[in-house]
Structure 1
């Protein structure tokens, strides 16, 4: 109920801010037809590179943890899990469970599979934080007084510090003796309690496996996820250029990073409806035309979200056939 109320509030505010500026579908279609399709092709390639960087990160982490996964197999798992994450309720949790299960089928232990997911999640936060810090540093270098209005940068620095502390604590904990398993096996209780204990134990074991990674491994994972975010941002910039929208790169980057904060709140699967509304409103506020903004967001979301769902579904079916034949 609270989630529905939050979605209603967001949509209500968007309708108020966009009143009189929402174009008709016919106008948007005309803008798409007249768009520069070379920029759209570039946007598609950039989105492909974004997904590819994420898949390479996963293969690299698995390789460092002693598991070899073929490139095509890793790409299929990433596509299928991404499709789940953006298309079903509680998508990230469902996608995480799916990814761990598929990595186990590929030969990883549950601990290694969980470690890959945990490290990937931390690297994803770190990559996004780097974009915030880099963008904030550029703004401050150009206008030092802007630091007073750059609260998101302070928040991200705090989150980065907490993440670093968590990694250091995890590396320390790995050296501590773990409690005996006999007591845990003898524990009885309701099904929910046993399930929670199993999840916590799995997370603990995964974290222990992940802390065996070297600093170089963490750096490589962070580099890949930064490329993933940058390619996705460049995809949005390319779609804006395709529709001939005179919005600066810095403005688009700020809008993109702001929307990423919105996406972290799972109001709807994949942020559907909320992200589109926020992007259109932001582009219009930045000086884009209503028609151009709507068309650019339509292309960007088509490439970065909607097309991934059927492609990921095909990848999931392919993985299922491979596992049945194995």
Structure 2
């Protein structure tokens, strides 16, 4: 097969095998982490036979509580998108969020695939590109801001309650730093159209410089894209920032509620792991889970949560059982519903067509 030379003279054909090898290496690393966690690390913390004995002690009352909490958590997926994309109804938002979350869990590229899935479904239903871009950006930004904020809150709560803060110190420090940078960036972009354009030009120049060093093409957008986004976002946030914030917090805190209920359901008492300590462990692992090491953080989240909760005082077998129940309830229903949503999303088109792009 003949090769085509790029502007710098390097054959393009050489880049494709290199990218393929990179994906293979990343896939092998992710697989090794997952296998290592479930085949070696967790069994060293607690024998699976002991863990199963703990799971079988779960009463039907606690099972109903966990099911209800799972339904509650699933029902909090749509509201942030409904706030960020006016006109989007609950059913359509549920389909989009379940499908995109499922894709982000099972796909190697994770979040990127989930975003692409959301984009494709919403555009297929006729929503304008600018509106979809705004919704994707705002929901993603608010979610990441919440993830960065939780370790800060957890560190404060641990200090107030006299608990150990060593596990959270670094995460909270990183959270404060990144949170401050993101908020400052948002303020700069949203403050004025001219400032948004200047910031956008600077970001575009830096991104292009970075991509060129990686032998990639420079970006085609500039500060005008930031200015257009700013105009759309300011108008919406002026009316809905509080709704978006509350919906985002509700969505993530119901996930924590599932963890706390899973701990209590298998007998991990407040005397062993308080709700503050459970929140601290969850907040810490939520930060770690944002790093795309494995699809859906599988292996990383389980090991991180188990280690932190055992360090706080939970019994080994009880903690492992609680973490596995929690992960089952937060992953399996979404993957199942998301798969169904991805196959049937065209059937859920809004009854009143939204304005189409010319």
Instruction: Provide the secondary structure at the position in 2 that maps to 1:89.
Output: coil
- Alignment partner, residue 237 of structure 1: 260
- Alignment partner, residue 133 of structure 1: 152
Contact residue 58 and residue 74 of structure 1 kept, 8 A: yes
- Alignment partner, residue 80 of structure 1: 99
The alignment's C-alpha RMSD in Å is 3.5
- State the Cα distance separating 1:238 from its structure 2 match: 0.2
Bigger shift: 289-298 or 83-92? 289-298
Question: Which residue, 260, 276, 280 being the options, matches 2:306?
Answer: 280
Q: Which runs of 5+ in 2 are unaligned?
A: 1-24, 199-215, 354-358
What does residue range 156-171 of structure 1 map to in structure 2 within 5 Å?
Answer: 156-171=175-190
Instruction: Provide the secondary structure at the position in 2 that maps to 1:212.
Output: helix
State whether structure 2 residue 80 is matched by structure 1 residue 57.
yes
- State the Cα distance separating 1:140 from its structure 2 match: 3.1
- State the Cα distance separating 1:152 from its structure 2 match: 2.7
Bigger shift: 97-106 or 113-122? 97-106
- Alignment partner, residue 68 of structure 2: 45
Question: Which residue, 296, 312, 319 being the options, matches 2:338?
Answer: 312
Question: Which residue, 237, 243, 250 being the options, matches 1:220?
Answer: 243
Q: Which runs of 5+ in 1 are unaligned?
A: 180-191
- Alignment partner, residue 295 of structure 1: 321
Distance 2:165 2:281 in 1: 16
Distance 2:338 2:168 in 1: 40
Question: Which residue, 247, 271, 278 being the options, matches 2:297?
Answer: 271
- State the Cα distance separating 1:222 from its structure 2 match: 1.5
Instruction: Provide the secondary structure at the position in 1 that maps to 2:126.
Output: coil
- Alignment partner, residue 184 of structure 1: none
Contact residue 140 and residue 146 of structure 1 kept, 8 A: yes
Contact residue 37 and residue 299 of structure 2 kept, 8 A: no
Contact residue 239 and residue 299 of structure 1 kept, 8 A: yes
State whether structure 2 residue 90 is matched by structure 1 residue 71.
yes
Contact residue 69 and residue 258 of structure 2 kept, 8 A: yes
Distance 2:232 2:223 in 1: 14
- State the Cα distance separating 1:28 from its structure 2 match: 2.9
- Evaluate the alpha carbon distance shift between residue 202 and residue 84 of structure 1 in structure 2; reply closer, same or farther with a 3 A threshold: farther
Q: Deviation digits for residues 151-172 of structure 1, max 9, x if unmatched?
A: 4333222222222212222224
- State the Cα distance separating 1:44 from its structure 2 match: 3.1
Aligned residues: 308
Q: Deviation digits for residues 122-154 of structure 1, max 9, x if unmatched?
A: 111222334333322223334499699734333
- Alignment partner, residue 257 of structure 1: 283
- Evaluate the alpha carbon distance shift between residue 100 and residue 47 of structure 1 in structure 2; reply closer, same or farther with a 3 A threshold: same
- Evaluate the alpha carbon distance shift between residue 157 and residue 219 of structure 1 in structure 2; reply closer, same or farther with a 3 A threshold: farther
- Alignment partner, residue 92 of structure 1: 111
- Evaluate the alpha carbon distance shift between residue 301 and residue 244 of structure 1 in structure 2; reply closer, same or farther with a 3 A threshold: same
Distance 1:130 1:2 in 2: 29
- State the Cα distance separating 1:87 from its structure 2 match: 0.8
Distance 2:168 2:332 in 1: 35
Distance 1:6 1:314 in 2: 26
TM-score (norm 2): 0.74
